[in-house]
A and B are shown apart, each in its own frame.
Chain A
Amino acid sequence: DAMVIQNPRYQVTQFGKPVTLSCSQTLNHNVMYWYQQKSSQAPKLLFHYYDKDFNNEADTPDNFQSRRPNTSFCFLDIRSPGLGDAAMYLCATSRGQGEQPQHFGDGTRLSIL
């Protein structure tokens, strides 16, 4: 089945230690998104790639970066995680810019020690 896969499902890192979350997709979609979701909150868009074009949301902290080396993979890098960055991180894809629905992975739960 075509799908969006996130690895790892659970990630623990130390305060200030860089961490990378991974997302891959077999849907061959052009757009890949990263969301942050804190407990009992709405998923919040951090940034997205439309093909190779990177689009950062205005309020996404500089601490968060992303890379998309090819169509299938997208990475979320947190350069110096703080306690406030503990959250569920969701990757999603869509066929084209603004096309719906978006298809989500199962998320990576990030904990900061």
Chain B
Amino acid sequence: DQQVKQNSPSLSVQEGRISILNCDYTNSMFDYFLWYKKYPAEGPTFLISISSIKDKNEDGRFTVFLNKSAKHLSLHIVPSQPGDSAVYFCAASARYGGSQGNLIFGKGTKLSVKP
């Protein structure tokens, strides 16, 4: 059973508008969350992360929000640019839960930003 779910396989957004990518998780032991970005024919690259002690982390155009009670996180990109077009993976780890802090990934959401 998937512990990390990205229920939208794809998202299309106009350049300059906000992109919101969503992620849900089921394991309450997860305490650290990451977003990775992947271009075709390249490996995933780390984008932004958030610890469970926070509810928001911001880095330039990218903001991640965490709602622990809902077991939900989201990545906001504003303004969206055509170069942001990629597959975005949500990942979670339980650093103190006995799983050695290994990452569990979602299936990804393909973002297309139209000029």
Contact = CB atoms under 8 A, between A and B. Distances in A.
A43 B95 CA distance: 19
A105 to B, nearest CB: 5
A107 B43 contact: yes
B34 A100 contact: yes
A42 B105 contact: yes
Contacts of A97: 100-101
Task: Give the size category of A's interface with B.
Answer: 20 to 34
A72 B2 CA distance: 32
Contacts of B2: 42
A43 B100 CA distance: 17
A42 B107 contact: yes
Interface string B15-54: 0000000000000000010101000011111100100000
B44 to A, nearest CB: 5
Nearest to A106: B43
A102 B103 CA distance: 9
A21 interface: no
Contact of A100 (B4, B101, B105): B101
Interface of A: 4, 6, 33, 40-45, 48, 50, 55, 90, 92, 97-107
Given A40-B108, A42-B2, 10 more contacts: A40-B107, A42-B104, A48-B100, A98-B95, A102-B103, A104-B44, A105-B43, A106-B42, A106-B43, A107-B43
